[in-house]
């Protein structure tokens, strides 16, 4: 009964490889079926080249495996907490891609320096606070989800489809596992552009608010006109 979900999640995970975002077996994508109350996620530590759709692990929102023969990703508690905290999302992706991870390790948000970024989000890409020693030792992956949700107390996760976890790396989300993987690629490219821009000009200033607003709203606003629109 979960074959379609597992196939979608398998294909979404392969996007991370296609996009060059993963190192060895690092990284994972999940997708939730909110009607059934389950999510599927990549198994822990399994080589992408050997992985099959049947290897995807299906769990309920209490973290109990309901379908699958392998252990789920070690980041599963983070995914579950985000699904519970952000009801509008249906897919989550995580990897240790070079540039986005570098910003996370620097504990620095990704500044909005040009018009590419507001096509993705309406401002700087947020970074969380560092987890405390107690948070790491007690329930690290669950608390990673909590610290992301805490950072989004005043932000809309639909408008900002990604976050950097301080000292760790990026998480992205979307309406499906595939969209989450695509958003992770967008995030990596944005991070790379920001890094190179500051190398060229360390004093490069953030984009003017009016131009940022224009680029975000033409694609995501109530009167958006980017693309072909929905078919009638």
Q: Which positions are annotated as active-site residues?
A: 119, 226
- SS3 state of residue 80: helix
Segments in 19-92 forming alpha helices (H): 76-85
**Please, what is the angle between helix 76-85 and helix 133-151, to 10°?**
40
Provide the 8-state DSSP code for 226: S
Phi and psi angles of residue 95, each rounded to the nearest 5 degrees, phi first: -155, 175
Q: How far apart are CA 45 and CA 48, in angstroms?
A: 9
Residue 83's nearest CA partner among 128, 126, 32 is 32
């Amino acid at each position: 009964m979960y074959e379609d979900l597992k196939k979608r999640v398998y294909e979404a995970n392969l996007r991370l490889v296609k996009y060059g975002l993963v190192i060895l077996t690092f990284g994972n994508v999940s997708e939730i079926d909110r009607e059934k109350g389950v999510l599927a996620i990549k198994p822990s530590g399994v080589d992408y080249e050997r992985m099959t759709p049947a290897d995807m692990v299906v769990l309920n929102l209490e973290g109990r495996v309901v379908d699958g023969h392998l252990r789920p990703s070690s980041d599963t508690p983070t995914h579950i907490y985000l699904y519970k905290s952000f009801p509008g999302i249906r897919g989550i992706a995580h990897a240790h891609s070079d540039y986005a991870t570098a910003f996370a390790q620097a504990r620095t948000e990704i500044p909005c320096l040009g018009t590419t970024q507001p096509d993705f989000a309406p401002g700087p890409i947020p970074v969380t606070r560092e987890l405390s020693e107690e948070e790491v030792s007690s329930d690290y992956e669950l608390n990673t989800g909590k610290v992301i949700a805490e950072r989004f107390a005043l932000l809309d996760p639909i408008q900002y489809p990604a976050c950097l976890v301080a000292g760790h790396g990026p998480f992205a989300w979307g309406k499906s596992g595939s969209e989450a993987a695509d958003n992770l690629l967008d995030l990596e490219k944005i991070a790379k552009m920001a890094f190179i821009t500051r190398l060229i000009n360390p004093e490069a200033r953030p984009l003017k608010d009016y131009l940022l607003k224009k680029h975000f709203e033409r694609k995501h606003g109530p009167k958006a006109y980017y693309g072909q629109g929905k078919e009638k």
